[in-house]
A and B are shown apart, each in its own frame.
Chain A
Amino acid sequence: MRDKYFDHSATTYVRPEVVEIMQEYYSEKYGNPGSFHYKGLEANEALNSAREKFADIIGSKSDEIIFTGGGTESCNLAIKGVARSLKKQGKHIITSTIEHHAVMDTCDYLERHEDYEVTYVDVNKDGIIDPESVRKAIRPDTILISIMYANNEIGTIQPIKKIAKIAKENDVLIHTDACQAIGALDINVQDLGVDMMTLNASKIYGPKGVGMLYLRKGVRIVPLIHGGGQERNLRSGTENVPGIIGFTKAVELAQEEKTEESKRLIKLRDYLIKRVTDEVPECWLNGHPEKRLPNNANITFLNVEGEAIILLLNEYKVYVSSGSACTSKTLDPSHVIVSMGLPYEAAHGSIRFTLGKINTKKDIDDMMEVLPPIIKKLRGISPVHLKASEVIK
Chain B
Amino acid sequence: MIEIKATMHPDVKAKVDGKKWFYTEQVRDHFFNPKNILKTEEEAKLYEKESHGVGEVGSPACGDMMKIWVKVDSKTDRLQECKWQTFGCASAIASTSMMSLMVTENKGMTIAEALKMKPHDITARLHGLPARKFHCSVLGDKALRAAINNYFFKSGQKDRIIVSKGAEIVDKILKITDKDIEEAVLEGANDFEAVQKKTKIGVQDKTCIPRAKELIEFYKDKYYG
Contacts and interface: CB of A to CB of B under 8 A. Distances in A.
Interface of B: 22, 31-32, 34, 37-41, 44, 56, 60-67, 85-93, 132-133, 135, 196-197, 200, 203-204
Residue picked from A331, A332, A383, most chain B C-beta under 10 Å? A383
Nearest to A325: B63
Contacts, number: 81
Contacts of A386: 60
B20 to A, nearest CB: 11
Interface of A: 303-308, 311, 315, 324-327, 329-333, 343-345, 348, 377, 380-386
Contact of B132 (A306, A308, A329, A345): A329
B87 A331 contact: no
Contacts of B88: 305, 308, 326
17 contacts: A307-B89, A307-B90, A308-B88, A325-B62, A325-B203, A326-B89, A331-B63, A331-B132, A348-B63, A377-B39, A380-B40, A381-B37, A381-B86, A381-B93, A382-B85, A383-B65, A384-B87
Nearest to B62: A344
Contacts of A330: 197
Nearest to B90: A311
Given A304-B87, A311-B22, A348 B60 contact: yes
Contacts of A315: 32
Nearest to A348: B63
B31 A311 contact: yes
A383 B85 CA distance: 6
A385 B41 contact: yes
Residue picked from B40, B62, B89, B91, most chain A C-beta under 10 Å? B89
Given A325-B63, A383-B85, A383-B86, 12 more contacts: A304-B87, A305-B89, A307-B89, A307-B90, A308-B89, A327-B89, A331-B200, A332-B203, A343-B61, A381-B93, A384-B65, A385-B41
Given A325-B63, A384-B65, A305 B39 contact: no
Contacts of A305: 63-64, 87-89, 92
Contacts of B203: 325, 331-332
Contacts of A344: 60-63, 204
Contact of A383 (B39, B61, B67, B132): B67
A311 B86 CA distance: 16
B162 to A, nearest CB: 23
Contacts of B204: 344
Across the A-B interface, give the 3 residue pairs with the lowest CB-CB distance, nearest first. Answer: A326-B89, A307-B89, A383-B67
B89 A324 contact: yes
Nearest to B23: A311
Contacts of B197: 330-331
Contacts of B86: 381-383
Contact of A381 (B38, B62, B64): B38
A325 B132 CA distance: 11
Residue picked from A306, A324, A325, most chain B C-beta under 10 Å? A325
A306 B89 CA distance: 7
B110 to A, nearest CB: 27
Given A331-B196, A383-B56, A383-B85, A345 B61 contact: yes
Contacts of A306: 89
Contacts of A307: 89-90
Contacts of B63: 305, 324-326, 331, 333, 344, 348
Contacts of A324: 63, 89
A384 B89 CA distance: 14
A303 B60 contact: yes
B53 to A, nearest CB: 15
Contacts of A345: 60-61
B26 to A, nearest CB: 15
B93 A380 contact: no
Residue picked from B39, B63, B66, most chain A C-beta under 10 Å? B63
A344 B64 CA distance: 11
